[in-house]
Amino acid sequence: MKPLEIADYAVLPNVEYPEDIRKLNLAELNRLARDIREFIIQAVAASGGHLASSLGTVELTLALHYVFNTPEDRLIWDVGHQSYAHKIVTGRKNQFASLRKKGGLSGFPKREESVYDTFNVGHSGTSIAAAAGFAEAHCLKGEKQKTIAVIGDGSMTTGMAFEGLNWSGDRKKNLIIVLNDNEMSISPNVGALSAHLNQLMTGHTVTKLKSDLKGFLKSIPGIGEQVFKMSRQLEESLKTMVVPGTLFEYLGFTYVGPLEGHRLDYLIKNLENVRDLPGPVLVHVITQKGRGYKFAEDNSPTYHGVAPFDVETGQALAKSVISSYTEIFGKTLIELARSDERIVAITAAMCEGTGLDAFAQEFPKRMYDVGIAEQLAVTYAAGLSIEGCLPVVAIYSTFLQRAYDQISHDVCLQKLPVIFAVDRAGFVGEDGATHQGIFDLAYLRSIPNIIVMAPKDENEMRHMLKTAIGCGLPVAIRYPRGRGIGVPLDDELHTLAIGRGEVLSEGTDLAILAIGATVYPALAAARRLALENVSVRVVNTRFVKPLDTELIVETANRVGQILTVEENVLQGGFGSAVLELLSEQGITGVRLRRLGIPDEYVEHATQAELRAKYGLDEEGIFAAAKSLLAGKTL
């Protein structure tokens, strides 16, 4: 089916900005919701992206922009997976085809992109804390803008979200938190009753009546305070039975909900009432992930983040026969766990994303998904380790940053044998600056007692996992997003020598020291240099910590010109480690150049485009080598 042009939709062509939404009647708003949902499906099918979450928040997005005076009223999205409808109605529908492409729209809210994107996001749990800061600043400046944070139920598992609730509930500033709950189901009847009751309970008349009644009960001589307390106890008891919001009210919030999240009339009326309530308010909205696209409704985890797919069948347009590093990791861990009952697996709300779904099926009692709580995952692993388990903590590189203190304080300080499977290391591509895994070599190698390694291919990763299981120390194995090299897998797993690299090709003119995903491009560049009669030694260092001192010193003395290559930031990374080693060993007279990512955040593009941009593909390594040999500066 040919994707529709914007002009082919009924209402969408007439909407550029939120002020256009506010001119529509209810029937037009509902038709706009259908237009946007179809538009998102067609666009994501072509380019990939976060589908299910954004389909679930179309009506909520329209209601928020209809009721609140954005961008003067600050709308802050948590994570941003659900923000596609927001982008479409805030001046970016004509650029939406460029979503997540090089030079195009970001997949997440981004302040540099639009005045309607009030806070840059990508990691879970930041919205409430940020919104509390916005609200406090407005109060200090005497401004009357509204501040609204939209956070999903998954993000509510983060410690930072609870810290934000605790703080903002105590501060009593005007703040609205919309809890987008897409895990609960709600029937139409319950939704209608809930919406009707909340329309009543949030209206000005009832709010004033409750306040007046409270004052009246307290004023009754002798028994007023006791009667008021009894009425409050009765109210709380009833709420506990029928309303899941008592916890939020104890934290200082006025709780409203749950509301049916796909009824625009209910949402608009309730949000209009909530808009003028004083103090912190939590609005609980029930939505359905994948709403309006059957494949995403039936299997929302699969359609959370998708590659380009066929709209009619829901099937990916292209699938490689080569397994991904993630898949190989999951299969290898199962293989090891079958013969070692001490092995347990931990992840932070990314069971499928980290390849642990099959492990969970085979070893359900040894699999722990702690929710979006990376700090908990690491310290939980520490406790398991002390009691004799062998925890394997599988977390994306960008998210493991959130548990840096726990890695240092709770694992490495105690020299506990916890294995970190650092997935999505290096360039992740289209998810952009918030998700690139380009810092882990630097932030991990600074911690004492940890072993840090990176495989050149999926077969070597299998042996590294075997090595990590048996070494008795904290270990991090970082590996890239996407498919492996396609090399044959050894039938038997074996243990690697800790801190030992391997020479892949011999040469005397130049040495390329590579790590992880840069090894094969380095080999390809060396083969091209050989055609020009340049003799290149290529070393797969395997380990960033500890480095292979003997091999690197011997290489420096033999060759004298070294190019280090890493898919990581240069500051404090692999190349820095080599420089430090040579300095400590008193090696002089060596010309060394580091190739990696400069001191900047990496924006969205494909992995191939990013490797080309930063000179970390075959062509870039070849050019850097030629420049070094010619005595030029990069």
> Is a pLDDT exceeding 90 seen at residue 52?
no
Model pLDDT, residue 196: 44
> Is a pLDDT exceeding 60 seen at residue 72?
yes
**Maximum average pLDDT range among 237-241, 254-258, 320-324, 493-497:** 493-497
Q: What pTM does this model have?
A: 0.86
pLDDT band at 334 (very low <50, low <70, confident <90, very high): very high
For 161-195, how does the pLDDT look when each residue is reduced to its tens digit (9 = 90+)?
989 998 888 888 889 999 998 864 333 434 443 45
Q: Which domains does the chain have, with CATH numbers?
A: 6-306 (3.40.50.970), 325-478 (3.40.50.970), 502-629 (3.40.50.920)
Percent of the chain beyond pLDDT 70? Answer: 89
Question: Would you put residue 486 in left (φ > 0), alpha (ψ -120 to 50) or beta?
Answer: left
First to last CA, the chain: 49
- The first and second tokens of residue 280, run together, are 């912190």
CB-based burial of residue 532 (10 Å sphere; 0-12 exposed, 13-18 middle, 19+ buried)? exposed
For 193-214, how does the pLDDT look when each residue is reduced to its tens digit (9 = 90+)?
345 445 544 555 545 555 555 6
- The first and second tokens of residue 67, run together, are 């009721």
Q: How far apart are CA 442 and CA 439, in angstroms?
A: 6
Q: How far apart are CA 179 and CA 304, in angstroms?
A: 18
- 449 and 315 Cβ atoms separated by less than 8 Å: no
Model pLDDT, residue 173: 87
DSSP 3: P
pLDDT band at 158 (very low <50, low <70, confident <90, very high): confident
> Is a pLDDT exceeding 80 seen at residue 376?
yes
* Structure-token match 């939590």, residue found: 282
Model pLDDT, residue 408: 97
Nearest to 431 by CA among 482, 389, 385, 394: 482
Nearest to 47 by CA among 424, 245, 308: 308
Lowest mean pLDDT, pick from 63-67, 199-203, 375-379 = 199-203
- The first and second tokens of residue 626, run together, are 């030629």
Which residues, at least 6 apart from 321, have a Cβ–Cβ distance to it below 8 Å?
none
CB-based burial of residue 364 (10 Å sphere; 0-12 exposed, 13-18 middle, 19+ buried)? exposed
Average pLDDT over the chain, rounded to an integer: 88
Residues belonging to the active site = 289, 374, 402
Nearest to 564 by CA among 551, 577, 554, 553: 577
Which element (helix H / strand E) includes 471? helix 458-471
Q: Which backbone phi and psi does 92 adopt, to 5 degrees? A: -125, 15
Q: Which backbone phi and psi does 420 adopt, to 5 degrees? A: -100, 115
